[in-house]
């Protein structure tokens, strides 16, 4: 089938399909004498897999490795499971970092909101309350 039908089935744009092909994720795609691409069921299956993997946060290099393992006759499930666990750990670490940042900002906002008017050289919401400013001035 041609690219238009392939896009309809996979839900991918034609530029995404071309990009995945150019990155070697599909292998050799048949071309007609007019240079039109002709995609087969295996290409569709790979494109659907790529789309799903991308929605799960897999990078193209990771997807290439999964497809390469499969092409070598090796089941990639252990590799995929390991990558998912790594992604979960990374997300948890990022959530913890963001929670700390949020807590710091909320405390800073609460402390700075107790001051009426704009105090500070530029803005006390960033510079901090008077006690913090005195510390900075004394260290200069």
Higher pLDDT, 93 or 133: 93
pLDDT digits (tens, 9 = 90+) for 101-128: 999 999 888 888 887 777 778 887 777 7
* Cα distance between residue 89 and residue 58, in whole Å: 14
Architecture of the domain made up of 3-72: Orthogonal Bundle (1.10)
Please tell me the distance from the alpha carbon of residue 31 to that of residue 22, in angstroms, as a whole number: 14
**Is the pLDDT assigned to residue 11 strictly greater than 50?**
yes
CA torsion, ordered 62, 10, 40, 76, to nearest 10 deg: 30
Q: How large a percentage of the chain has pLDDT more than 90?
A: 65
Domain assignments of the chain as residue spans, ordered by start: 3-72, 91-138
Q: Are 63 and 51 in contact (CB under 8 A)?
A: no
Rounded CA-CA distance 37/11 in Å is: 17
């Amino acid at each position: 089938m041609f690219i238009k039908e392939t896009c309809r089935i996979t839900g991918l744009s034609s530029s995404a399909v071309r990009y995945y092909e150019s990155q070697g994720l599909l292998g050799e795609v048949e071309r007609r004498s007019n240079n039109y691409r002709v995609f087969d069921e295996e290409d569709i299956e790979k494109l659907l897999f790529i789309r799903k993997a991308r929605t799960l946060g897999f990078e193209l290099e990771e997807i290439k490795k999964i497809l390469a393992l499969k092409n070598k006759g090796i089941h990639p499930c252990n590799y995929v499971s390991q990558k998912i666990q790594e992604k979960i750990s990374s997300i948890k670490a990022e959530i913890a970092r963001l929670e700390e940042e949020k807590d710091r900002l909320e405390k800073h906002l609460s402390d700075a909101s107790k001051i009426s008017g704009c105090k500070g050289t530029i803005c006390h919401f960033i510079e901090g309350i008077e006690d913090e400013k005195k510390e900075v001035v004394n260290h200069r």
